[in-house]
Structure 1
Amino acid sequence: MQLFNTLSAEERTALIEESGKQRLTLSFYAYAKISDPKEFRNSLFLAWNPLEVLGRIYVAHEGINAQLSLPADNFYTFKDHLDTIPFLNGIRLNVAVEHDDLSFLKLTIKVRDKIVADGLNDDTFNVMDGGTHLGANDFNKMLEDPNTIVVDMRNHYESEIGHFRGAITPDVDTFRESLPIIEDQLADHKDDKNLLMYCTGGIRCEKASAFFKHKGFKNVYQLEGGIIEYTRQVKAEGLESKFIGKNFVFDARLGERITEDIVSQCHQCGKPCDNHTNCANEGCHLLFIQCDECKTASDNCCSEACQDIFHMPKEEQIALRRGTMNGNMIFKKGKSDRLTYKKSGDENTDVALASAPKTKTVRPRIRKTLVGKGEHYFPKAQVGQFIIDNQELHVGDTVIISGPTTGEEQIVIEKMRVNGQDGTVAVKGDKVTFSLPFRIRLSDKLFKVIG
């Protein structure tokens, strides 16, 4: 009985591309008493795996926190299953503003002590006694009240690219850090101000609002469904969006655009930009904001040191990072001194630095299958080398070379060498080289166009 993911990210990517199915990205959470989280976790895996659900789900005695994607065709079957679970029956599903078929590449359901790491002792207060929930319209009205203080319950790397105008944006790396900071900062306003808080999907505010009520704050409110649901209501009801910029999300998209306002800068050159990326040096993997020009010039790396490591042979890179655990440092280093134009906390601006395009080009779906990955690039000869991991490659095949820096480049193979000799067919295990008008990276994938 399979109770865990068995496919690699590359294999899953290929399957998603081949299927041609549109996938929906969504999230939900629920606080409830789960007597046996492990058994509950296993039952979810058995029910969701056949529905091609992919995502990151946390289960604990206190409830469930889920971010996932699934084929649009399976949405109602998935929802029907949720309705068979009493505390999930009729639950609101926060459907993403923007969808990406590759937002998640595996199904991971983990049993945790808590569904959100808040550092609180839940026995000391009533976690179910949260603040008053407000929809988008009422939230907007309360923002106009001079007696309102609005607080962003997210982390510095989230609020930097988008936030509500006038919000307090704590300069913190984790949710648990923000609670005592906010309590101390607003200690003199427990009785005379409306404490209005928000987060991505609402789950952090559920616990935070109960905590602040326990600490003596009299007028505590929270945004129902977080930024995701707020955006849906704003569009459905034709309301003004008081949120500006992008909403950071914890999947491969790393953000979904709410308004065309760009309120942050490239951490390397200072150009208006709100696109997060991870350093291509796997030993660093730093999360930071990088514009397209710096991405190209730096090979998707955060520094010259990482760029040098990125161009080392793969075996040397692995040896360098052996025994190193990044953990939350991936996010903490978002404020690293190597990033000249980083901003957070009180530095965040309500003024747009630039405007993003209001529309994006929708490319026709190309059916493709993963056949290999980048191994080396020979600059003088302008030749790329790949290792074939799957299926066959033939002279005359149309291929796509895809990577975080390369983007997607499509060419037809007119001539190639297989294991150092001229050849017309390459199979699994072969090393293939052919001419390319651009540089490839070790992170690039080789796809063959099918159909």
Structure 2
Amino acid sequence: MQLYNTLSAEERAELIDQAGKQRLTLSFYAYAKIENPQQFRNELFLAWDKLDALGRIYVAHEGINAQMSVPADNFEAFRETLEVYDFMKGIRLNVAVEQDDHSFLKLTIKVRHKIVADGLNDETFDVTNKGIHLKAKEFNQILEDPNTIVVDFRNHYESEIGHFKGAITPDVETFRESLPIINDQLQNHKEDKNLVMYCTGGIRCEKASAYFKHQGFKNVYQLEGGIIQYAKQIKEEGLESKFIGKNFVFDNRLGERITEDIVSQCHQCGKPCDNHTNCANDGCHLLFIQCDECKAAMENCCSTECLETTHLPLAEQVKLRKGKQVGNKVFRKGKSENLKFKHSGDSRTMLEQAKQLTDVALDVVPKVKPIRERVKVKKVLIGKAEHYFVKAQVGQFLIENNELKIGDKIIISGPTTGNEELILEKMLVNGKEIEVAKQGDKVTFEVPFRIRLSDRLFKIISK
């Protein structure tokens, strides 16, 4: 019985491209009492793996929290797998505003202590006594009330690229950090103000609204379905968007555009920009905002130190990482001292910080661009990258399938490299300059950009 992934992200991406079918990115959550989370997890994996459903899902005794990518053709069949469980009958599925077939490339279902790390003891208050749910039109109306305080329950790197106008955006890295801060700083407004909260899809507010009602706040409201449903409703109903910028999402897209306004800056040069990048250095993976120009110049790195590290032989990189924590445990997201244009860390109170993030667009996107641009061509997988000689700008590849010859149009593709198209004008096959390479051969040729071991070599069949 298979209960784990057997394909790499790159292999899955290739299968998705070859299938050529639309996928839907969606999210949902449900609080419920689950007696055996591990068994529940295994049942879901078996059912969803058959439908080619991918995503990141957390299950716990308290419920389920899921962000997923599902083939459009299998959408109804997927919904039926949810209806098997009474607590998910008729569950709201938040379908993304912008679609990307590569939003998720693995099916990962993890059993956790909680479906959202809130740091709360649920036994101390009634988690079912939630705030009043507001749809988009009602939410817009209550924002106009001068007695309303609207709070963003997301993290700083989420709110920086997009938020509701006039919202308090706590400078926190985790959801659990914001709860005591808000409770402390809004102590004097428990009865005279409307406490209105929002998050990405609504799940954080479900628990937070009950917590704040328990803390004595009289008028507690929450945006039903979060920013995802808000964006859908304002479009369907022709309403004004009180949200400005992009909505950060936790998949490979890293954001979906709600309005054309850009309200944040590239953390390296200060240019208006709202695209996030994960630093290419495997010993860092800092999440930060980076414009296209800095991305090209810095090769997806957050600093010159990281750039230099990525140019070292792989063995040296591994040696440098040995014994060190990596990724988010090394750097606070978007808060490295290497980033010059990061607006966070302000010591003012939250109410004073309400205008810390701008409500005025620094620039606009004249035309919505695809989150991830892929070369739409028919291609066949030829081989994989083995090495890149930085000074000579030469890449080495192992031919695993088919054959490669001079004059072929090729694509070098990878998570960081993207899709780069070249015409093969000259190559060395096993150290000799010949015109055809076959399965098992090692080939080297000039590549005017850095390649990585995760890159794959494709031959274009037709456009």
- TM-score band w.r.t. shorter chain: over 0.9
- Larger deviation, residues 235-244 vs 396-405: 396-405
Letter in 1 for 2:431: G
3-state SS of paired residue (1:336):
coil
Query: How far is the alpha carbon of 1:185 from its aligned partner?
Result: 1.1
In the alignment, structure 1 residue 219 sits paired with structure 2 residue 226: no
Residues 86 and 312 (structure 1 numbering): CA distance in 2 closer, same or farther, change over 3 Å? same
- Letter of the structure 1 residue corresponding to residue 263 of structure 2: V
Unaligned runs of 5+ in 2: 347-352
Gap change, CA 1:177 and 1:156, over 3 Å in 2: same
Instruction: For residues 380-438 of structure 1, give each alpha carbon's deviation from its aligned partner in whole angstroms, at most 9, with x where no partner exists.
Output: 655332234x42341143311234665422123243222212344445654321234x2
The CA distance in 2 between the partners of 1:357 and 1:372, in whole Å, is 39
Q: Which has the larger displacement, 107-116 or 315-324?
A: 315-324
Q: Report the secondary structure of 2:334's partner residue.
A: helix
C-alpha distance in 2, partners of 1:123/1:239? 40
**Which secondary structure state, in structure 1, belongs to the residue aligned with residue 368 of structure 2?**
coil
Does residue 422 of structure 2 align to residue 411 of structure 1?
A: yes
Alpha-carbon distance between aligned partners in 2 of 1:280 and 1:428, rounded to the nearest angstrom = 30
Q: How does 1:29-178 map to 2 (within 5 A)?
A: 29-178=29-178
- Stretch deviating more after TM superposition (371-380 or 114-123): 371-380
**Deviation at 1:379?**
5.8
SS of 2:26 mapped into structure 1: strand
Separation of aligned partners in 1, 2:439 and 2:105: 23
Q: Which amino acid aligns with 2:156?
A: H
* Distance change in 2, residues 1:327/1:411 (3 Å): closer
**Is contact 2:247-2:257 (8 Å) kept?**
yes
Quick one: structure 1 residues 404 and 85, their matched pair in 2 at CA, closer, same or farther if it must change by over 3 Å?
A: closer
Identity %: 70
Moved more, 325-334 or 10-19: 325-334
Map of 1:273 onto structure 2: 273
Is 1:391 the counterpart of 2:401? The answer is yes
- Cross-structure match for 2:200: 200
What residue identity is the alignment partner of 1:337? E
What per-residue deviation string (whole Å, max 9, x for no partner) do you get for residues 131-151 of structure 1?
000000000000000000000
Matched residue, 2:365: 356
- Counterpart CA distance in 2 for 1:70 and 1:229 is 18
Distance 1:123 1:176 in 2: 17
- Check conservation: 2:389, 2:395, Cα contact below 8 A: yes
Higher mean C-alpha displacement, 315-324 vs 54-63: 315-324
Query: Distance between the aligned counterparts of 2:374 and 2:14, measured in 1?
Result: 18
Q: Structure 1 residue 287: deviation in Å? A: 0.4
Query: Which amino acid counterpart does residue 169 of structure 2 have in structure 1?
Result: T
Give the TM-score, by structure 2 length.
Answer: 0.92
Q: Deviations over 1:201-238 (max 9, x none)?
A: 00000000000000000000000000000000000000
Cα distance change of structure 1 residues 4 and 349 upon mapping to structure 2, 3 Å threshold:
same
Aligned length: 449
Q: CA deviation at 1:170?
A: 0.3
Task: Write the distance in 2 (CA, Å) between the matches of 1:127 and 1:331.
Answer: 33
Amino acid aligned to 1:55: G
Distance in 1 of aligned mates of 2:137 and 2:318: 52
Counterparts of 1:311-390 in structure 2, within 5 Å, are: 311-326=311-326, 328-329=328-329, 332-344=332-344, 346=353, 347-360=356-369, 365-378=376-389, 382-388=393-399, 390=400
Query: Following TM superposition, by how much is the alpha carbon of 1:324 offset from its aligned partner in structure 2, in angstroms?
Result: 2.7
**Kept after mapping to 1: 8 A contact 2:65/2:115:** yes
Structure-2 separation of matches of 1:134 and 1:279? 38
Are 2:284 and 2:326, in contact at CA under 8 Å, matched by a contact in 1? yes
Does structure 1 conserve the Cα–Cα contact (< 8 Å) formed by 2:134 and 2:224? yes
1:63 Cα deviation from its structure 2 partner: 0.4
| 1:181 counterpart residue number | 181
Other-structure match for 1:445: 456
Tell me by how many angstroms 1:289 deviates: 0.4
State the 1:372 CA deviation.
Answer: 3.6
**Cα distance between partner residues in 2 of 1:290 and 1:335:** 13
Out of 339-348 and 240-249, give the one that drifted further. Answer: 339-348
Query: Secondary structure, in 3 states, of the residue corresponding to 1:332?
Result: coil
Counterpart residue identity of residue 364, structure 2: S
76-85 vs 263-272, greater mean Cα deviation: 76-85
Give secondary structure in 2 for the equivalent of 1:421: coil
Q: CA–CA distance in 2 between the matches of 1:160 and 1:418?
A: 50
Q: Which residue of 2 is the match for residue 302 of structure 1?
A: 302
Structure 1 CA distance for aligned equivalents of residues 438 and 256 of structure 2: 39
3-state DSSP of counterpart to 1:10: helix
In structure 1, what is the Cα distance between the partners aligned to 2:154 and 2:283?
Answer: 26
Task: Report the alpha carbon displacement of residue 19 of structure 1 after superposing the two structures with TM.
Answer: 1.4
CA RMSD of aligned residues (A): 1.9
Partners of 1:227 and 1:243 lie apart in 2 by 8
Equivalence for 1:290: 290
Give me the TM-score of the superposition, normalised by structure 1: 0.95
Shift of 1:52: 0.3
Separation in 2, partners of 1:363, 1:102? 10
Pick which of 353-362 and 23-32 moved more: 353-362
1:329-375 alpha-carbon deviations (Å, 9 max, x no partner):
36614111111101237331111111113233787732334444444
Distance in 1, Cα, partners of 2:329 & 2:246: 23
Give the Cα–Cα distance (whole angstroms) in 1 for the partners of residues 226 and 333 of structure 2: 26
